Amino acid sequence: MPRVRLTVAYEGTDFHGWQAQTPPDGPPLRTVQGVLSDVVTQVVRAPVTLVGASRTDAGVHAIGQVAAFDADLRIPIDRLAMAITARLPADVQVREASLVADSFDPIADPVSKAYRYRLASAEPPRRWPPLFDRRTVAWTRHDLDVARMQAAAQRLVGEHDVAGFAQIDHGRRTTVRTIHHCHVRESASGEVDIEIAGSGFLYNMVRIVAGTLHEIGRGRFDGERIDEILATGDRRLAGPTMPPEGLCLMWIRYPGDAEPSA
């Protein structure tokens, strides 16, 4: 039976995250996996098991989530993304569909993945919190020194034990990860973008990294705090877990994929 790979984008505000969830005392929660599975089943006219690469949390967005399922297709693969998206609600889209090897595993096979955390800063009335993009941009009232944040972000690059940047109950056997790059830039519209790519990330890791860089940018921490967190693994030394609306899964790269642009 053919295996299909999907590239999925969604605005995560009204979802309880990616993973399907059914409380013991109520109906299933609205999740991206649940909504997408129902529509794919309609399109291929058979039940499917849809596996996603990254379990994004409630309120977190994606441009490049990857999912896969097995099915005998009734329509050409080049029409599948359109056929699925036409039946999906407005806050989720399938951007691309392709046939892959039967051994393709969206969870185990990634070479790297990248996230962006977008943050608007400054205090009213000089600058107001996001309004029209408030669901996809987080806000802080503090002025941020982007150059200071960028210098500190470079300390994350390399292979490290990143336990200090994860929730205690991260559920992973190892906390060693490789960070390929971490950039802090001011966007054309004036927001601060924290872009981080690596071999993988622990639970809430990117939001905690963003919170730590936020504290450095506002002058509460020195850049050397990054080194201390990596050396000790002490979560208490890191910044707060930033709110979910600023976080977006940008891409996931697999063997044979083109190198994403930085």
Residues 6+ apart with CB under 8 A from 25: none
Cα separation, 138 vs 129, in Å, equals 8
Q: What is the reported pLDDT for 262?
A: 56
Residue 133 is a catalytic residue: no
3-state secondary structure of 169: coil
Single out the catalytic residue among 14, 25, 38, 57: 57
Structure tokens at 31: 């999740």
Q: What is the reported pLDDT for 67?
A: 98
DSSP 70-81: E---SS-HHHHH
Of 161, 226, 158, the closest CA to residue 197 belongs to 158
Catalogue all structural domains in the chain, each as residue range(s) with its CATH number: 3-100 (3.30.70.580), 112-253 (3.30.70.660)
Q: What is the reported pLDDT for 246?
A: 98
Of 246, 259, 241, 127, the closest CA to residue 197 belongs to 259
Of 152, 193, 194, 156, the closest CA to residue 177 belongs to 156
DSSP H or E segment with residue 40: helix 32-44
Contact call for residues 66 and 32 (beta carbons, < 8 A)? no
Q: What is the reported pLDDT for 189?
A: 82
| pLDDT tens for each residue of the chain, 262 residues long | 899 999 999 999 999 999 999 999 889 999 999 999 999 999 999 999 999 999 999 999 999 999 999 999 989 999 999 999 999 999 999 999 999 999 999 999 999 999 999 999 988 888 889 999 999 999 999 999 999 999 999 999 999 999 999 987 666 789 999 999 999 999 888 899 999 999 999 999 999 999 999 999 999 999 999 999 999 999 999 999 999 999 999 999 999 998 886 5
